[in-house]
Structure 1
Amino acid sequence: MSYGFTLADIEFLTSAAGTDALAGVDALELTSATYLADVATARKLVGPNVGPVLETVLLRRKAVSKMDSPERWLFTDDALQQATPAEVAQHRAARFAGRDVHDVTCSIGMDLVYTSYTAGISVGSDLDAVRVHMARHNTGLPVLQADALRPVTRGTAILADPARRDSSGRRRWRPSDFAPPLDALADVYAGRDMAVKCAPGIDPSDVPWAREIELVSLNGSVREACLWTGSLATPGVRRRASVLRTGAEPWSITDADPDDCPVTAPSEWLIDPDGAVVRAGLVRQYAARHGLAQLDPRIAYLTGATPPAGIRAFRVVEHGRYTEKALRQELARRKVGKLEILVRGLDVDPNALRPRLRLRGAEEATVVLTRIGNTPTALLCNAVRTN
């Protein structure tokens, strides 16, 4: 169970004594092997404030995966889990350039601080008093304690990141699965320019008020959907996929791009488009941009003679009708002992299939199991990172 911070904890953590305590505990290893001994040492160093100090040190170490310099930030565990990764926050902030912005669910201030780099005036608010005080410390910006559904600013663009309720394992998220609910935000801020961050499983038909829906991936993982309204939305664009990779230029594709692409038999290469492209329903646009073809109009695998640069693509060794027996025999013939199994469009469980294939040998391969028309198909490939 995570530690529950209080306002008194924040007062201590931001004091000179708290700064010294944090430095002392941060010098401990706090690994699985040393944890019990290190906690005992921390209690001697810090005394009754060991709880918030220890939790803050641990959360700052976790935060390194989301931001570059978390050493002076304050977090709660829940707030850190929901916080936007820095690269995604920077990407979104660029669309607020020059505007006055109010982040109405600012939490600990991750989005707020990055938006402030591009915006005119930036202000935040949150209903939780602890997070309000943390955000003030983290960002140095004005942060109010306020309900997102009771506007306290005028003339600002709105940024909202509602908390996600328990969706009971559903892949599709509904507007009511968020707090505050998405439709309530749309009603309260009707006529205002707004961006609402939400889960990538949101269905466009559930948010007809969103003029543009952007799916964003980071380093191959789909991180969020962002719902844009008013003049923040791009004219003529309803769906967008934005692909971010550390150290590479971000790129986007939209439903306004050409989508002419053929459907052909497998060629030299097989391409699995980025998840943001697939989630946004822009596979045909991606294929048209890169001169690729679809294997099947209902399946999100593409094929072509030349793969796009900077992706993980699959050079096709051979392909044919899929049966488990034929695949097992071919893998044995090729002495494949390590196999990546990718499945789309077939009811095959890779974890159940793998032991039945009885893999033996020193070779590595990837097999893609899919459907072309009504034919279950196996494509044996070698994975390659393209330049």
Structure 2
Amino acid sequence: MSYVFDLDDVAYLRSPEGAEALAAVARLPLTASSRLDDTARARRVAGQRFAAATLETASLRRRAETKLDSAGDWLFTDEGLQQATPTAVARHRARRLTGRDVHDVTCSIGADLREIAVVARRCVGSDLDPVRLSMARHNLGGVPLARADALLPTTVATTVLADPGRRDGGGRRRWRPEDLRPPLDELIETYAGRDLVVKCAPGLDFDAVPHAEIELVSLSGQVREASLWFGGLATSGVRRRATVLGADASAWTITDAEPDECPVREVGQWLLDPDGAIVRAGLVRHYAARHGLGQLDSRIAYLTGDEPPAGVRAFRVVDHGRYTEKYLRTLLRRHAVGRLEILVRGLDVDPDALRRRLKLNGSAEATVILTRVGDTPTAYLCHAERT
């Protein structure tokens, strides 16, 4: 269970004494095996009262290194760091708010607001949680902050950013707008007539979201977040958008305003598994049309063609046939495959369990794509390449 910070903890961590203790604890291993020694050392430098808060902060800062840029001296709660937007994603969203007056009504520890402050004409943040708000004051320097309920507006004529939490979904993979805290309809009603962007998880049921441009964003191949753009922030004629951000700071986007005519065709020289943001946004056919590709099956997201787009991971088809485990074993022996990536879509196959049963024994490396074409389970043996 993660440590629960209070305001006294934050005050200590923001003090010169706290900063000195954090610097000392940051040099410790902070591993499971070193926990007892780390705790003893933290108690010597921070005292019994603040040792746990100091240890937790040092650990959270290490975790934040892969998510947030230039946040080495920030303060976090565990939940605040989990919910914080990766810097590249926050920066992308902030660009659409350039030159505006912006109010982040759920600012938490300040990850979004830091990027907004760079591009906005003016900005302000608020949150109900006094601990996170105190951490945000430390993290953001001179950005104006206030304690306020997101459903009780404290500014006028500003563009609003909201990042609602989620109620317990009972294990559901798909979230409903009413599962958000505060619920999406209450946010929309509260800020009626104002330009509003709502940050949410990519698992939201977007078919239930009214009158918004829905943007799915991936970073380095992983779907990270969705943004719901309302009012003047929404792009005219666009309901769905997918944005793909690369680790190299590259970015491109596709929307449902583009053509979506693509054929269902026999497998070509290449197979493609579109980026997850494209799939989640329902823009597979639009992506295929843009790049002259076809679908193996109209209900499956795998695409095929004879020339893949540049800059993607694509799969050069070596062999294929009707999938059974016996056929796949024969195929892998024929090509001396000993290291195998297994991708599955449209079939009830556990890749890890299948790999164990295959008992691979060879020197070659390959990818097998298992999918359904019509009613036929099909295996495609491929070599993965960066185009």
In 2, Cα distance between equivalents of 1:248 and 1:127: 34
Counterpart of 1:246 in structure 2 is: 247
Trace 1:119-268 onto structure 2 (pairs within 5 A): 119-140=120-141, 141-209=143-211, 211-268=212-269
Please list the CA deviations of residues 251-279 of structure 1 after superposition, one character each: whole Å capped at 9, or x if unmatched.
Answer: 00000011122221000000000000000
Counterpart of 1:341 in structure 2 is: 342
In 2, Cα distance between equivalents of 1:53 and 1:348: 45
In 2, Cα distance between equivalents of 1:104 and 1:385: 42
Counterpart of 1:83 in structure 2 is: 84
- What letter corresponds to residue 108 of structure 2 in structure 1? S
Matched, 1:5 2:37: no
Question: Which stretch of structure 1 is more off in the superposition, 263-272 or 46-55?
Answer: 46-55
SS of the equivalent of 2:257 reads: coil
Counterpart of 1:69 in structure 2 is: 70
TM-score (norm 1): 0.97
In 2, Cα distance between equivalents of 1:359 and 1:58: 40
- What letter corresponds to residue 322 of structure 1 in structure 2? Y
TM-score (norm 2): 0.97
- Misfit runs of 4+, over 4 Å: none
Please list the CA deviations of residues 177-225 of structure 1 after superposition, one character each: whole Å capped at 9, or x if unmatched.
Answer: 221111111111111101101111222221113x200001111111111
Counterpart of 2:119 in structure 1 is: 118
Counterpart of 1:271 in structure 2 is: 272
Identity over the aligned pairs, expressed in percent? 64
Closer/same/farther in 2, CA of residues 113 and 248 from structure 1, 3 Å limit: closer
SS of the equivalent of 1:96 reads: coil
SS of the equivalent of 1:296 reads: coil
In 2, Cα distance between equivalents of 1:188 and 1:248: 36
RMSD: 1.2
In 1, Cα distance between equivalents of 2:164 and 2:196: 13
Which ranges in structure 1 are unaligned for 5 or more consecutive residues?
none
Question: How many correspondences in the alignment?
Answer: 385
Query: Once the 2 structures are TM-superposed, how far is the Cα of residue 147 of structure 1 from its aligned partner?
Result: 0.6
Counterpart of 2:292 in structure 1 is: 291
For the 8 Å contact 2:76–2:135, the answer to whether it is kept is yes
In 2, Cα distance between equivalents of 1:354 and 1:18: 51
Query: Once the 2 structures are TM-superposed, how far is the Cα of residue 167 of structure 1 from its aligned partner?
Result: 1.7
In 2, Cα distance between equivalents of 1:336 and 1:167: 42
For the 8 Å contact 2:196–2:231, the answer to whether it is kept is yes
For the 8 Å contact 2:177–2:205, the answer to whether it is kept is no
Query: Once the 2 structures are TM-superposed, how far is the Cα of residue 26 of structure 1 from its aligned partner?
Result: 1.4
Please list the CA deviations of residues 364-384 of structure 1 after superposition, one character each: whole Å capped at 9, or x if unmatched.
Answer: 111111111222111110111
